[in-house]
Structure 1
Amino acid sequence: MQRGLFKFIGEVVEDYPDYDKYIEQKENEITDRNRQLGVTESNSEQGYTPVTIGDDRSILALKRKQKAVEDALKQSDDVTRDIIYELYLRENKLYDLRGLTAHLMYSKSQIMRLRDGFFDKVARELWLE
């Protein structure tokens, strides 16, 4: 996997716990913007087009990323989920890669291989590979 793609997938995984909050914020922004402009379905015939939550590309992208990580987590075994949780999802990180080797009793290369396999699953779900 290319370095840029690897870094992007890492950011997608790290943001996973906050996707619901991000989606809600975007939905509220759209609703507020439409309300401020006075745009409704009834006056859309006058040339005003309301931005709908279902059509917003940023919300669709957030939902696609959330589903990709969720599906990859469901497809992964317990050890891989532990690795991803400890390295990317935990708010107060307790372990780095070296600490995980001692905690899980796996070698660094085994942990990296499992992490990379998880990242590959996320990339495939996002159609990046």
Structure 2
Amino acid sequence: MRTSVFHFIEDVLRDYPRTSSYIREVQDNILAPYNPEHDENVGGGRKQNANNRGVENQALTIDSDKAIRKLKEHRDIIEWTLEEADDATRTIITELYFKHRPTLTITGVAMSLNLSRSAASRKRMYFFNQLMKRFGLRP
């Protein structure tokens, strides 16, 4: 596996616990975009009989937004791969990537699971290879 692919998967795994808040943040930016120069009092009132399709456009934008789709896709792939993984692999990934401030290295996690460092590394690498295939990345 190339180093860039390995680091990409590590970054995605580290972002996974906060993915839902990232999705919510992007949706909020679509629903209420920041526009400092917009003033609703300028130019009198609004048209009374104008068609307002703002809500429809926002819903279509949220559905078609590339960032939201990618975040959801990554979240779903990680959840799917975690469900298929064994308990030791789940513990390794959780300890190394999901904690805000990880205290253990791969060696420490391996010792806590009564595994050798190489066995823990093989489990992590197998998990990464599964993610790589599901993300559609080349090795």
Provide the TM-score with structure 2 as the length reference: 0.79
Q: Which runs of at least 4 in structure 1 moved beyond 6 Å after TM superposition?
A: none
CA-based RMSD of the aligned residues comes to 2.3
What is the aligned counterpart of 1:59 among 59, 68, 75?
68
* 1:101 CA drift (Å): 2.4
Look up the SS of the partner of 1:106 in the other structure: coil
* 1:125 CA drift (Å): 1.7
Kindly indicate which of the two structures has a greater share of residues assigned to helix.
1
Measure, in 2, the Cα distance between the counterparts of 1:82 and 1:76: 10
Per-residue Cα deviation, 1:66-96 (whole angstroms, up to 9, x for no partner):
1111111001000000000011111232311
Alignment of 1:44-55 (within 5 A): 52-55=61-64
Aligned to 1:98: 107
Consecutive unaligned residues in structure 1, runs of 5 or more: none
Tell which deviates more after alignment, 96-105 or 19-28.
Answer: 96-105
| Larger Rg over CA atoms | 2
Measure, in 2, the Cα distance between the counterparts of 1:14 and 1:4: 15
* 1:43 CA drift (Å): 4.9
Look up the SS of the partner of 1:33 in the other structure: coil
What is the aligned counterpart of 1:79 among 85, 88, 96?
88
Measure, in 2, the Cα distance between the counterparts of 1:56 and 1:32: 15
Measure, in 2, the Cα distance between the counterparts of 1:122 and 1:86: 18
Aligned to 2:130: 121
Aligned to 2:45: none
Measure, in 2, the Cα distance between the counterparts of 1:121 and 1:102: 24
Q: Are 1:31 and 2:31 counterparts?
A: yes
Aligned to 1:107: 116
Using the aligned pairs only, state the percent identity: 31
Measure, in 2, the Cα distance between the counterparts of 1:57 and 1:34: 19
Measure, in 2, the Cα distance between the counterparts of 1:23 and 1:93: 24
Aligned to 1:15: 15
Consecutive unaligned residues in structure 2, runs of 5 or more: 41-50
Aligned length: 122
Which protein, 1 or 2, shows the higher relative CO under an 8 Å CA cutoff with sep ≥ 6?
Answer: 2
Aligned to 1:6: 6
